Amino acid sequence: MVDATGPYELIALSAAAAARAIAAGEIDPTELIGAYRARAMADELNCFTWVAPERGPGSGGDIAAGSSPAPGESPLPGTPLGGVPLAVKDLFCTAGVPSQSGSRILEGYEPPYTATAVARLQGAGATLLGKTNQDEFAMGSSNENSAFGPVLNPWDRARVPGGSSGGSAAAVAAGLAPWAVGTDTGGSIRQPAAMCGIVGLKPTYGAVSRYGMIAFASSLDQAGPLTRNVTDAALMLRHMIGRDERDATSLRFPEQIELPRADRLDGVRLGVPAELSSEGIETGVLERFHSALALAQELGATINTDVMLPHAPHGLAAYYVIAPAEASSNLARFDGVRYGLRAGDGQDLVGMYTRTRHDGFGPEVKRRIMLGTYALSAGYYDAYYGRAQRVRTKIVEDFRAAFEEVDFIVSPTTPGVAFELGEKTTDPWSMYLNDALTVPMSLAGIPAISIPCGLSGSSEGKGPVGRGLPVGLQIAGPAFSENRLLDAAYALEQAIGFDSTAAHV
């Protein structure tokens, strides 16, 4: 029997544990939802851009068969996620709820439909708790590019939570939500997960429908879970995957996602490429990474340091051509004509376009639109975009060759721990380097997970009162290897024993 005498006992439950307790009748889902709503409403980290309003008693009683509950309503009876609250990144369309992608150009926009990934979770019984803050149109590594202000890291409020899914990551780390949906284009799930001390999973490209996700870079964007532990990540992913006729890039997943059970890594071959585990990485991060490798060996894994990803160092440059090029095309739809902000009333059409985009887009979005437009322009396409795509192909081939020698590639998730607010905002390239270890997996379309592997003990990795800051361990596998990946991550997670509730506020 769960002791649910107060809100703190309720929020101490993992999402999977809460779902089991609800199914067993041990806790009331409305109490769980109420406890999290109260915490979300008192959010001091700027994690949320919208929180579901409180509903009256019995508000879920009129839900039609086969439909999803409205935000904040009681769940459908008998559903597998039976009322566990869900935080959702602001770039997912949610019917009748602000879906602004962190941008003034979409401020207050309420779409008439819900993204497939969110709708599937709601259909499984998850209750929409709120929409989370993010870098504008998912363009950023620190959540400082949001039009609605930066999110603060719960481990140290003077530092960033990572980006672009920083609001989702910080909300889970701070105990404001049991789990959250994020998106990963070049590392936007894994990087904030690492900086906030939680689990973040980028699935195989195409495993989760992109329908209803406000697009950044369509050949890279992928939705995935941000959770307290690996089991919760597996449970959420189970209810997100699958073919969707409304997304031509979505694929039928070859097997059901199982909850991980492995406690050993016997026979598992881990590859540690020098290209992703040496140059430019903080001392404290490397210390925790090597400690995790030692634990993996104790669990029976073999470590191969000879595996190579020779084109991975070129991934960042290729990514920052391909992603802005796709963004320049995707963001052309925001022109003040159909939805969102319209500025410059009384001007001619071109003047209205210009004024709307000037007022609506932030500086980082404008920078990437200009970079992408230039890369696609006549005379430069082959020199930039075409060459970047060839590098991408080489990276895909590198991973394919590596997975003939090893089962998984492991590396630190980020080169450093969470950095101070404002530290890198005037130096875009320094900011972009935070994605150096996550971008190659995105370009290859393969799954990768970040799990916390301890706290940095070096001077650059200390938070308030000398407390260390979280370090992430990244594990990547071949396409559609999510079950094996989750098993390996689970075994390591149990051995590491990181306290995922340490930053609860």
Residues taking part in catalysis: 89, 164, 188
Q: Report which of 307, 304, 235, 312 is spatially closest to residue 276, judged by C-alpha positions.
A: 312
- Regarding beta strands 127-132 and 85-89, do their DSSP bridges make them parallel or antiparallel, or are they unpaired? parallel
By C-alpha distance, which of 362, 487, 417 is closest to 161?
A: 417
Q: For 455, list phi and psi in degrees, rounded to 5.
A: -110, 140
CA–CA separation, 414 vs 424, rounded Å? 15
SS (H, E, C) 99-120: CCCCCHHHCCCCCCCCCHHHHH
Q: How far apart are CA 73 and CA 14, in angstroms?
A: 20
Token pair of 166, please? Answer: 């920083």
* Rounded Cα–Cα distance for residues 351 and 331 (Å): 17
What residue has token string 């696609």? 376
**Residue 269, H or E segment:** strand 269-271
> Do the beta carbons of residue 335 and residue 356 sit within 8 Å?
yes
User: 50 has which bridge partners?
Assistant: 131
